[in-house]
Amino acid sequence: MADIRHERLQEALREGAAEFLVREATPQSLITVTRAVLSEDTKRATVFITVLPDSAEQQAVAFANRNKRELIDFLKTRIRGGLPHHIEFEIDLGEKNRQRLDELS
């Protein structure tokens, strides 16, 4: 039962982060939230993103990480239950590699 709750919280976090970034990010780049990974104790989360164009990746990650406090406040209005105290954004390298393989095939 705890696994289902954990998965639901991860999905809610992914959806909430995506909605937040759509509202707050500039239209100069396209930021897509691919997944969220929550620690077992639910105190830490990593939100994985992809960014187009690739040249805007570092700026997008820096923007998202600068706005973590606002994201948590936003999530409090969307998600019931325990939210992680610490959220980090990272580029989803696995998704980038998958896209690259799709291009090659």
Mean pLDDT calculated for residue range 15-22: 96
Structure-token pair, residue 104:
């090659």
Please check the confidence at residue 100 and state whether its pLDDT lies above 80.
no
Q: What is the mean pLDDT of residues 8-30?
A: 93
Taking residue 7's Cβ as centre, other Cβ atoms within 10 Å add up to 11
**28-62: b or e for each residue (b if 16 or more CB lie within 10 Å)?**
ebebebbbbebeeebeebbbbbbbeeeebbeebbe
Question: Would you say 10 and 38 are in contact if contact means Cβ atoms under 8 Å apart?
Answer: yes
**What homologous superfamily is domain 2-104 in, according to CATH?**
K homology (KH) domain (3.30.300.20)
Q: What is the mean pLDDT of the chain?
A: 91
Residue whose pair of structure tokens reads 């998600």 in the numeric block? 79
The average pLDDT across 59-76 equals: 95
Pairing of strands 44-52, 86-91: parallel
Domain limits, the chain: 2-104
pLDDT at res. 96 = 74
What pTM, to 2 d.p., does this model score? 0.89
